[in-house]
Amino acid sequence: MSPGERLKARLAARELLLGTFVKTPHPAVVEVLGESGLDFLVLDGEHAPFDRAATDACLLAGRAVGCPLLVRVPAGDAATILGVLDGGAAGVMVPHVTSAGQAAALAAAVRYGPGGRGFAATTRAAGYGRRGIAEHLRRTPGEVSLICQIEDPQALDHVAAIAATEGVDGIFVGRADLAVGLGEAAMGAGRVAGLAAGILAATGAATGLYCAPGEDIAPWVGHGASFVVAGSDHAFLQQGAGALALLRNSVPTPGGKP
C-alpha cells in the first residue's frame, strides 16, 4: 500500500492522525520529520516559499521515508493541483473553500476523466511509466485525498454540504483565519471555539483542525476531529532553541551566580 493509499484509508476510517506543517522548503526537513513517527506532513505552499522545484524535492524526500505528504496549495487552481499530484503528493489541502460548488470543482481537479486533470503515466506518481494507463487510472482514486479548509464566515452555512460533497475526504478548520474574519484577535476566542466544535461534528468527510504547539487536542477529538495538524518545523525550532536558552540561564556563572 502506498503512503497515499494508507492516508486516504485512515482518513476514511476516522483513525486519529497527527501531523505538522512544514514551512521550510528543504527535503532534509521532510526527511527528519518524516521519520519521527508522525502520520503525515503538510507542505505549506500557502504561507511559506514553496516553488514547484522545492515542492518536488520535498515530495521526493517524503516518498523516500514513506511518509504521506499533503500540499497546502496557495489556491485551488487546477494547474497547481495537477503539478503537486503528478509529483506524488498524497493529496492537497485547499484554503478558503466556501461552497459545495467550489468543493465539487476541486474534487474534479484531483481526478482523471472528463473535466478532470490531465493524464500522464510518466510522472513520479505513476512510477515514471512503470504503471500502465489502466493501473494508474485504477489506483489513483484510492491514493489521493482532498482536504477543504473551512476558515471564512461565509462558509459556515455550507459546512454540511461541503463535507458531503463526493470526492472530499476531509474538512479542516482554519481557526486563525476564521477568528480574523469574525473580528476576533485570537483563535481561542469563545465564539471561534464554538463554531469550530460545530464544524468538527459534521458528517460525511473526516474533520480536523490546526492546533498550536502543546495545545490539548483531546477536547477537539471529543467534538469529532480525527486528524490534527499541530505546530510546524518553525515552532519545533523555536521551542528547542528556547529550552536551550533557559538551560543556559540556569547554569551558574564563573563567579558563582546564575
Q: Is 3.20.20.60 the CATH number for 3-247?
A: yes
Cβ(8)–Cβ(143) below 8 Å: yes
Condensed to tens digits (0 to 9), the pLDDT of residues 76-111 reads: 999 999 999 999 999 999 999 999 999 999 999 999
**What is the value of pTM for the model shown?**
0.94
Here the cell at position 25 is: 522548503
Q: Where are the domains of the chain?
A: 3-247
Condensed to tens digits (0 to 9), the pLDDT of residues 3-36 reads: 999 999 999 999 999 999 999 999 999 999 999 9
Condensed to tens digits (0 to 9), the pLDDT of residues 135-186 reads: 999 999 999 999 999 999 999 999 999 999 999 999 999 999 999 999 999 9
Amino acid at the residue 122: T
| Active-site entry in 26, 47, 96, 136 | 47
Check whether 255 has a pLDDT greater than 70.
no
Check whether 51 has a pLDDT greater than 70.
yes
Tell me whether residue 47 is one of the annotated catalytic residues. yes
Q: What residues contact residue 129 under an 8 Å CB cut-off, 6+ apart?
A: 121, 122
